[in-house]
Amino acid sequence: MPESSIQFNKILDKVRKLIAKSESTDSPEEGDALRAHAEKLMLEYAIEQAMLDETRPAEQRIKPEQLNIYICPSNHKLAQYFIRLMATLASHCRVEVINLNMYGKFGNTVAFCVGYASDLRYLELLYTTLFLHMSGEIEPKVDADKSFDENVHMLHAAGISWRRIVHIMCPEISKFDDHEIRKAGGRCKTAYRRWCKEIDEEPRVIVSPIGYQRNFC
């Protein structure tokens, strides 16, 4: 393997670790600092390679490459937001998105990107990290540190149906036992109203999941 490729892989590995650590920390300030450090490393590497490339004869200089990067399923309800995220990151990474292909209703949306190898790989790393993070956050998970009432309120505010809230909060109830589901649904609705009263919020009957997810994006 060429020395430049070995060096790039080392830098990329370090960047991956920094981003992973930024996602796992409970401190927003530390997360921002770790992501800034990751970006600084890749920027310094890109500048260093560009300066080195200028010293080479024209025929030996690094040539732009094409990389196809997965965006999301074509039928994803938030596809336009993920496409916008890709466009923003591509600009940040000095990469040109020359085309977007959507492979049928149940296929995938793919970005055809052109740029230098280091920029393309960094874009792919950044986008994949953010896509996984956003996909995990657009539907909240039960927090063991929160009360039953608060968790029910959080799930309802995200637009999750009462039936699904019952399955999430009361997993011991069979999905086919309608009688117990209705009873548990009543308990969940009471818990929701109780928490609304606790935080002085007006209860809402219907919440749009798309509205919540768009606000998150």
pLDDT of 176: 85
Do 159 and 173 form a contact (C-beta atoms < 8 A)?
A: no
Q: Is a pLDDT exceeding 60 seen at residue 3?
A: no
Q: Which residues 6+ apart lie within 8 Å of 181 measured at CB?
A: 163, 166, 173, 175
Q: Is a pLDDT exceeding 50 seen at residue 217?
A: no
Q: Is a pLDDT exceeding 90 seen at residue 149?
A: yes
Which pairing describes strands 96-102 and 108-115: parallel, antiparallel, or unpaired? antiparallel
Q: Is a pLDDT exceeding 70 seen at residue 214?
A: no
Domain ranges of the chain: 1-61, 63-137, 148-208
**pLDDT tens digits, one per residue of 13-65:** 777 787 778 777 778 788 778 878 877 777 777 656 555 556 666 665 567 78
Do 102 and 74 form a contact (C-beta atoms < 8 A)?
A: yes
Q: How far is CA 28 from the centre of its chain?
A: 16
**pLDDT tens digits, one per residue of 156-202:** 887 788 888 899 899 899 888 889 999 999 999 999 999 999 999 98
What is the CATH number that goes with domain 63-137? 3.30.70
Number of H helices, E strands in the chain: 8, 3
**Claim: this prediction has a pTM higher than 0.75:** no
**pLDDT tens digits, one per residue of 67-122:** 899 888 888 777 888 888 899 999 988 899 988 777 656 688 899 999 888 788 88
DSSP letter, residue 119 = H
